[in-house]
Structure 1
Amino acid sequence: MYKILIADDEQDERNVISYLIKKYNFSLDLRNASNGKEALTILEHEHIDILFTDIQMPFMNGLELAARAKEINPTIEIIFFSGYDDFEYVKQALSLHAVNYILKPVNPEEFYKSINEVCQTISNQKQDYLINYDFTNAYNPSTISSTNLTEKTSSDVEDSMILSNIEQATRLKDPNLLRKNVSFLLKKYEGTQNISHIYIRYLCTTLLRYLLTSLPDHETMHFQACVDKIYTFNQFKEIKEFIESFLEKSLTYMKQEMQAPKYSIHVIKQYINGHYREDISLNQLADLVYLSPKYLSSIFSQTTGISINKYIKNIRMEKARELLVNTNMKIRDIGTTVGYPNISYFCKLFQEEFRISPEKYRNKGQLEE
């Protein structure tokens, strides 16, 4: 879990950022500071991965804080957020290698994109360190393959793409895509002698984690035990057979789930929850689960008690309500964010849903606080 430090002298702003971190399910260990001096103390005593700081703060401004943070931890990722759209600030932020410069009030989508990119960057850095670390003295050279770690090549990029396909296949419950990519990856390294055994195990551990996500909860509980087992094998053949046994389990369970209507409903809900900002058609949803639009519409209504269009509207309205209460975004921007770029239509739907206008709803929420 990465640590993020939010530095801002306004409690409301810190609350908004904390809310967005929870809303988007980022696995981050949160620290807060109300001024630059307090933030610096935290940086000196804890390893912070991400600094999310305001520019204007008491005792020490965000630019000074960021410079000190880089001295303490050169790998720290920095994001500035400020109410000042000032080119000089932006220039200084760039000189400190900041990831982004976000204007207040913070746009949730821009925030999500920035934090997601930062987490991915940190993850990649840690993986690169693992792959490039010299394990020559730590492992017996008679094991699976050479302990001299190879330079990163286009092959590594290919591996990343294959793992991404496997993760997508388990998420979308696509057995054909899953079998094809797992088989390709295992065949690629079968008999290979010029690759680090630690890299092989890293790949197979990642692969195993994705396979286990497609199995029932009681199977996923044994992940660490499975990882430990992988590290006891001395031949790639043993690892391959171990992975293939879980592949077959995954494929069997996947096919069983796909035969049940509840699986199709789960996929549709998952897709809507992730794409409610976009135009979503019934035909598009039906293609996702290989059903006719008419049959999908029927089983969705029978299972959930509401139509697909009503479900989409409910999701959008709930997201709009959250943004009204927890952010300072303009009502027009909130409408666009939840999939209704026409503000009049958005306000009409919101009024129908909650019997109150978006503006009055926001004011009511502020009064209750």
Structure 2
Amino acid sequence: MSYTILLIDDNRDFLRELSECLDEYNVVCAENGSQALAILRHPNEIDLVIVDQVLPDHKGTEVIKMIKKINPELEFILLTGYGSKEIAIDALRAKVDEYLEKPVQPERIKKTMAEMLARKTRGRDFDLADSDGIISRVKRIIEKNYDRKITLESISSIVFLSPKYLSRLFKEREGVGFNQYKFIVKLNRAKELLLSGGLSVVQIADKLGYLNPESFIRMFCKYQKTTPGAYRSKYSRQKSIKSGI
């Protein structure tokens, strides 16, 4: 499958060098953000965008945000010769997929791009049955590892999907987001442990992976509108009444 790549950079020598390195792809070049937006507003087959942070008319991160309004499915590599905390924050806010600091060799860009496109290809090839199987697997991983730190990125690497695609697929199949599902699993497990009566609140917090019991109690109070101790007392008493004890 031949992919189409949009390169946005005002350095013509760099555009030429990178285009030559990507000779197996269809490459479209733009020297500023306005040119890139004009290209994308017309019918096109762009699969991935590589954009420099410093452009004559806009910041690269600003261009990414504008492009996402046209096509939210596109993925982006941001290039910058000024690695700073401010740019990193801008990249995060723009939801950039990859971030590379200049000077960077074209082969490094090509390798990063190939990995992104490979994930994208695998995502496109899944049919409905495959998708359901993958989501079931993701749910099992979450349920078995509720006490560990699980990120969308770590799970996506296990099932060979991009984080963006997995996030959208999970929400479509389950009706809740990835992080919300993680929280629901942890909350339900907390309720089970509270009603089993064998562990203290401090021990339950530790078992659920919280760094301290205060964080667990705050979380529980926020969503259950009661403390873990009060929840245990109330529902243990109801359970006893139903059992005739």
Which of 102, 110, 119 matches 1:112? 110
Relative distance call for 1:69 and 1:8 in structure 2 (3 A) is: same
Task: Give the alignment of 1:273-312 within 5 angstroms.
Answer: none
Normalised by the size of structure 1, how large is the TM-score?
0.34
Partner amino acid, structure 2, of 1:153: G
Relative distance call for 1:31 and 1:108 in structure 2 (3 A) is: closer
Kept in 1, the 8 Å contact 2:41–2:70? The answer is yes
Task: Give the alignment of 1:1-369 within 5 angstroms.
Answer: 1-22=2-23, 27-45=24-42, 46-128=44-126, 131-132=127-128, 149=129, 151-153=131-133
Alpha-carbon distance in 1 for matches of 2:46, 2:131: 29
Deviation at 1:150, TM superposition (A): 6.1
Relative distance call for 1:12 and 1:92 in structure 2 (3 A) is: same
Seq. identity, %: 30
Alpha-carbon distance in 2 for matches of 1:16, 1:123: 26
Normalised by the size of structure 2, how large is the TM-score?
0.50
Deviation at 1:99, TM superposition (A): 2.0
Alpha-carbon distance in 2 for matches of 1:97, 1:121: 17
Alpha-carbon distance in 1 for matches of 2:106, 2:60: 21
Aligned to 1:364: none
Partner amino acid, structure 2, of 1:4: I
Aligned to 1:64, the other structure's residue is in SS state helix
Alpha-carbon distance in 2 for matches of 1:72, 1:11: 26
Alpha-carbon distance in 2 for matches of 1:150, 1:63: 34
Aligned to 1:153, the other structure's residue is in SS state helix
Alpha-carbon distance in 1 for matches of 2:84, 2:103: 15
Alpha-carbon distance in 1 for matches of 2:131, 2:102: 43
Relative distance call for 1:67 and 1:95 in structure 2 (3 A) is: same
| Paired positions, count | 135
Q: Deviations over 1:176-208 (max 9, x none)?
A: xxxxxxxxxxxxxxxxxxxxxxxxxxxxxxxxx
Deviation at 1:124, TM superposition (A): 1.8
- Higher normalized contact order (CA 8 Å, seq sep 6+, divided by chain length): 2
Deviation at 1:109, TM superposition (A): 4.5
Kept in 2, the 8 Å contact 1:36–1:59? The answer is yes
When the two chains are superposed, the root-mean-square deviation of aligned CA atoms in Å is 2.3
Alpha-carbon distance in 2 for matches of 1:152, 1:9: 44
Please list every run of 5 or more consecutive structure 1 residues that lacks an aligned counterpart in the other structure: 133-148, 158-369
